[in-house]
């Protein structure tokens, strides 16, 4: 039994962080750091519905999903985070969305209950978010938003995080299929002191689907 465990451990890929490599400048380079994430149903606010094996979140109206309450669940913010965290590594992911949806990231220990204060992505100093407002893109952090004009709407957004370097990049993804390319909307330079979880804040009649790594 011990031998089998050792063989399994040896077969699992080990992610080793290599510092001081050039920052990705195109989608092909970002894909090298692609990580597939899964929505954590235990954290989902009761107005959110998780489907497609944990890759899609949908909010209808104020209809409540019949799930048990728990301390990990967002109490009031219609929000969900992923199971997998980002720590001592680089990670990139893309999201297809409809309606009004914020994609971003939060510290693993960021508050989720009403007693912790505002918990929406970008409503505090423990999370960051990107959304399409209907007329422009908005970057949110600590209840302050930055509007980015003159960038056309796209139904796909991307996020790149280099945790040790303290980098969070937000992108809009344009094009179709192999011709897709990214446009950098905002680069955030900060100190990322805890594990980071991708997250999603959902408006009424909105959905987000985490895109699988391209073949």
Exposure of 133 by Cβ count < 10 A (0-12 exposed, 13-18 middle, 19+ buried)?
A: exposed
Q: How far is CA 172 from CA 23, 167, 185, in A?
A: 17, 17, 7
Q: pLDDT tens digits for 158-212?
A: 999 999 999 999 999 999 988 999 999 999 999 999 999 999 999 999 999 999 9
**Bigger pLDDT: 169 or 68?**
169
**Bigger pLDDT: 144 or 215?**
144
Domain ranges of the chain: 23-210
Return all residues near 57 (Cβ < 8 A) that are at least 6 apart: 39, 44, 48, 49, 50, 51, 80, 200, 202, 207, 208
Using DSSP, state whether 64 is helix, strand or coil: coil
Using CA atoms, how far apart are residues 90 and 79, in angstroms rounded to an integer? 23
- Per-residue pLDDT at 11 exceeds 70: no
Least confident of 23-37, 75-89, 112-126, 201-215: 112-126
- Per-residue pLDDT at 14 exceeds 50: no
Confidence of residue 115 (pLDDT cuts 50, 70, 90): confident
Class of domain 23-210 as given by CATH? mainly beta
């Amino acid at each position: 039994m011990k031998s089998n465990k050792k063989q399994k451990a040896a077969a699992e890929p080990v992610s080793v962080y290599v510092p001081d490599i050039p920052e990705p400048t195109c989608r092909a380079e970002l894909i090298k750091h692609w990580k597939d994430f899964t929505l954590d149903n235990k954290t989902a606010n009761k107005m959110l519905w998780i489907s497609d094996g944990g890759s899609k979140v949908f909010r209808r109206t104020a209809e409540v999903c019949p799930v048990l309450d728990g301390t990990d669940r967002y109490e009031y913010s219609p929000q969900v985070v992923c199971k997998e965290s980002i720590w001592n590594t680089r990670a990139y992911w893309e999201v297809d969305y409809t309606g009004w949806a914020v994609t971003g990231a939060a510290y693993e220990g960021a508050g989720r209950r009403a007693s912790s204060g505002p918990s929406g992505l970008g409503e505090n100093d423990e999370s960051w978010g990107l959304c399409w407002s209907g007329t422009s893109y908005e970057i949110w952090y600590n209840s302050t938003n930055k509007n980015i004009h003159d960038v056309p709407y796209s139904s796909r957004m991307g996020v790149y995080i280099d945790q040790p370097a303290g980098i969070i990049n937000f992108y809009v993804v344009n094009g179709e299929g192999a011709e897709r390319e990214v446009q950098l909307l905002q680069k955030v330079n900060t100190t990322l002191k805890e594990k980071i979880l991708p997250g999603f804040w959902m408006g009424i009649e909105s959905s987000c689907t985490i895109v699988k790594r391209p073949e």
